Amino acid sequence: QVELVESGGGVVQPGGSLRLSCAASGFTFRNYGMHWVRQAPGKGLEWVAVIRYDGSIKYYADSVKGRFTISRDNSKNMLYVQMNSLRAEDTAVYYCAKDWRVLAAAIRAVIDFWGQGTLVTVSS
Amino acid sequence: DIQMTQSPSSLSASVGDRVTITCRASQSVLTYLNWYQHKPGKAPNLLISSASTLQSGVPSRFSGSGSGTDFSLTISSLQPEDFATYYCQQGYSSPFTFGPGTKVVIK
């Protein structure tokens, strides 16, 4: 069965950096686009970033563009997000999520599996 | 960017009630519209994709409709396990925005 396990969350000071990882199993990771989605405390879901199955296309939310970088290692079944210049408003549970479509050339979004999330707190 | 709105933001209903949540996009997303259910402390769950395609394992009391800019999610007979927050998301173009959510609470 599909399993997505996030790690790397924690407390970081404003302006700091953090890298989140997501270990994927139970499906052919290299064939699927992957997303990061976050939820700030008491707020709704916010889409953060997506990467195509082969890593060739990446898109970001305006709120993180230029600060976050999504990447993947298909040889290790791992998804990452490097988060730099962190702000208090980046405090959230970050979910790793799998897109539904296999070997999709164009980037759309249908998220059919989610991890349990990892909490990032940006605070001094 | 495409903006998503939902109404109502919350609703109070009883077991057995018929409930409808609406979602509107600021521009056409064709039928690239997904619905998710989210319970506290759990991962969100995909209910419906492509505006009206029920995901495997999702009870048939859930249904979706719409195209273009106006969409709806209907629960035909609310069950105790359906009390949660529901989000729409446009899957048409990046950024793939979610609606603000509709919280369904017990009356």
- For A72-114, write each residue's pLDDT tens digit: 999 999 999 999 999 999 999 999 999 999 888 878 899 999 9
Return the residue in A108, A113, A118 with the most chain B beta carbons within 10 A, the one to mutate for interface testing.
A108
- Neighbouring C-beta atoms of residue A73, cutoff 10 Å: 13
| DSSP E strands, chain A | 3-7, 10-12, 18-25, 32-39, 45-51, 58-60, 68-73, 78-83, 92-102, 111-114, 118-122
Mean pLDDT of the B100-104 span: 98
Under the banding of pLDDT at 50, 70 and 90, the label for residue B107 is confident
Chain B: residues touching A (Cβ < 8 Å): 1, 32, 34, 36, 38, 42-46, 49-50, 55, 85, 87, 89-92, 94-101
pLDDT band at residue B106, thresholds of 50, 70 and 90? confident
The pLDDT of residue A103:
87
pLDDT digits (tens, 9 = 90+) for A13-33: 999 999 999 999 999 999 999
| pLDDT, tens only, B31-42 | 999 999 999 999
